[in-house]
Amino acid sequence: MMMKLALCTDVLANLSYTEMLDKVKSLGIDAVEMTAGGWGARKHCNTQELLADAGKRAAFLEELEKRGMRISALNTSCNPTWPSETGKQYAESMYDCATLAGMLGVKKLVAMAGLPAGAPGDTTPNWITSTISWPDFMKPAYEYQWEVTIKFWTDYVEHCKKCGIEQIAIEEFPGTMVWSASTLLKLRNAVDPMIGINLDPSHMMALGADPIAAARALKGCIHHVHGKDARIERGLADVDGILETRPVEEAADRVWNYVAVGCGKDLQWWKEFFSVLSMLGYNGDVSLEMEDLTMSVEAGLLTSIDALEATISK
């Protein structure tokens, strides 16, 4: 076994399913991570249509097989614990995604932990980023959020097991309950070892963590890896720190940005990152997620692929 390059296909949402597969194949990549639930494009994997029609499922898989391609994972990232009608729809889409994965023979899901409100009856998700020591309402809010999160994932894991899912890779995403190595381990230990991390180094970089150190702390828990880079912008972050609320489109003014692989950390860093992952026993897919708004999609894909092909442990 060795690490192989895959592609998160939402970046090619303007293409049809077959056009997307041909494009990915032309880039030298044989595995795709497609959104089948949550807030992604869901352009290439129409979950409801595929659930309802065995013939369409067979045709869907046939297009992959005749190109020698495979599904790396189905992605269902969203906020399923948002106490609203939209949050309920997200949760339902996650359950449907797991059901479809079972029908397609896909064993791994990529997801996010979600973010509840801060108290029963509230409808606004609340990401607590400061100490829970004060004000005095912060601690019970944080405890309540974890109760809601653990309950959701306990139930969801049981559904996934019935569908034949073997791994749920939760992306450590700012603004969710799992945004770090420690919070991932908290959820995993409270629920089930079926839950592991989708190690996306860009999110750790943006919060000032070291993804290589985090990988060591997560040995045995790494289910999936995103090939995605971030850059803390010199000068700007020195003034304002690294918490950033500006829209991602305002790249020139943000204190950090998602960038093509190699435009944040250099290739030596990426070589060490993958070397350590290999040393820790990870030999799965590295799924390129291209979200660099400073260049064209094509330039971002080619830049990232060149960097990843030069650094992943094969």
| Cβ–Cβ under 8 Å, residues 93 and 40 | no
Q: What is the pTM of this model?
A: 0.97
> How far is the C-alpha of 207 from the C-alpha of 308, rounded, in Å?
22
User: Which pLDDT value is given to residue 1?
Assistant: 66
> How far is the C-alpha of 179 from the C-alpha of 146, rounded, in Å?
13
Task: Express each pLDDT in 132-183 by its tens digit.
Answer: 999 999 999 999 999 999 999 999 999 999 999 999 999 999 999 999 999 9
User: What's the CA dihedral at 197, 112, 257, 278 to 10 degrees?
Assistant: 10
> How far is the C-alpha of 110 from the C-alpha of 227, rounded, in Å?
14
Task: Express each pLDDT in 48-70 by its tens digit.
Answer: 999 999 999 999 999 999 999 99
Alpha helices (H) in 83-210, listed in sequence order: 85-104, 138-162, 181-190, 201-206
User: Which pLDDT value is given to residue 42?
Assistant: 86
Residue 83 is encoded by which pair of tokens? 């106490």
User: Which pLDDT value is given to residue 247?
Assistant: 97
CA 251 to chain centre: 21
User: Which pLDDT value is given to residue 314?
Assistant: 83
What parts of the chain have a pLDDT lower than 70? 1
User: Which pLDDT value is given to residue 40?
Assistant: 85
Q: How far is CA 184 from CA 91, 124, 232, 302, in A?
A: 19, 23, 24, 32
